[in-house]
Amino acid sequence: MAGVLAWRNLTHDLSRFIVTMVGVVFAVVLIAMELGLYQGFTTSTTTVIRHTNADLWIMAKGTRNFEITVPIHDRELYAAKSLECVDRAEGLVTQFVPWKKPGGGDESVFLVGFDLNSGLAGPWNLVDGDLEDLRRSDSIVVDHIYADKLGVSGIGDRVEINRHRARIVGMTQGIRSFTTSPWVFTAARTAQRMGNFEASDWNYVLVDVEPGCDPVRVQATLKAILPEADVHSVDELAALTRDYWVFTTGAGASVLVSAILGVVVGVVIVAQVLYATTVDHLTEFGTLRAMGAPSGFIYRVILGQAVISATIGHLFGISIAMALAEASETGTVLVVVSPAMAAWLFLLTLAMCVAAAVVSIRKAMRIDPAMVFQR
């Protein structure tokens, strides 16, 4: 009975009900998009790390993030290969290099050179071309998202990278960079040549631990025999990189602050809309009290209005947010609205609506029932 009355109370004035729903929907979309942008940013900072098949990463001492590091040498690579529990170990080259567009103009790209034979690293979501073509010394793979930015149209285009000729042999879809420099994938030796590295220089050594062996013990052993290098698991390096860009740079801080402000503004909007809806129906609640309705019944009506508003507003709001997030997959800015976030956001929306209802209950219960007989 309380739920039916709550629904009728909300929909009695259709225009006000629509305004209420628009307010809740807007708040849900705002919070979801701001949190989605933050999630997309943090996902983009670790995308290459997460898409490797390595268990451990060896790097120069003091490395704080994936993009900025200094070279290490074959000593680290051979040391990793010498351990019994290491199945595979390979060098990885990563470096910012200049890119000269075919039609003129320069861009900065982030070159990633990997071992074609091991399969520990490399591009994913390849939609055009064949990775085997990277065995040619001038071959590269870029992403469709950055084709216009890089001044290319597809496979076969020739460009200049750090004064070295290069030819596109493959195109991926959806590998976004969180910086202004797109990813460019190539074979490790090609990357060394384009980055002016020595043949013994690498930025990272990727280590794959044999099945049945403990990666933690292998990590400890590598740390002991390589005191001048850092050895991190995938999760540790991803956390280092994410925290560096989020907490020590202006870009990460602005995204984080925007996400926090989005939640705060959304909470305020929902609280204001739901409180105003309840206050506008004070006369009806006064009538219920005058008719002898118990306080518990009025509580259930007001809380029922909050639950109905939260449920409907969340369904519409999260649908819009997910549609916008899906549309972002073809752009350079990634918005991630996962099912887990949707579920969490429903609980947040419900909590906001109930909190606003609880505040308004106090006002409703202080109504003098005699006011319904006044003109």
Better pLDDT: 103 or 76: 76
Q: How far apart are CA 285 and CA 364, in angstroms?
A: 7
| Cβ 118 vs Cβ 55: under 8 Å | no
CA neighbor of 263 nearest in space, from 353, 345, 328: 345
| Cβ 345 vs Cβ 314: under 8 Å | yes
CA neighbor of 110 nearest in space, from 126, 125, 92, 127: 92
Give the model confidence (pLDDT) of 4-45 as tens digits: 656 666 666 677 777 777 878 888 888 888 888 888 888 888
Task: For the chain, give every domain's residue range.
Answer: 2-44+250-373, 62-227
Q: How far apart are CA 292 and CA 309, in angstroms?
A: 27
CA atoms within 13 A on the CB side of 220: 5
Beta-carbon neighbour count of residue 373 at 10 Å?
Answer: 9
Most confident range, picked from 171-175, 255-259, 294-298:
171-175
Least confident of 111-125, 152-166, 193-207, 342-356: 342-356
Give the model confidence (pLDDT) of 84-142 as tens digits: 889 989 999 999 999 998 877 888 999 999 998 877 888 999 999 899 899 988 899 99
DSSP state at residue 210: P
Torsion of CA 65, 68, 73, 75, to 10 degrees: -10
What's the predicted TM-score (pTM) here?
0.76
Which pLDDT score is estimated for 232? 94
- Mean per-residue pLDDT for 51-55? 90
Q: How far apart are CA 351 and CA 193, in angstroms?
A: 57
CA atoms within 13 A on the CB side of 289: 20
Vertex 112: Cα angle to 209 and 333 (nearest 5): 105
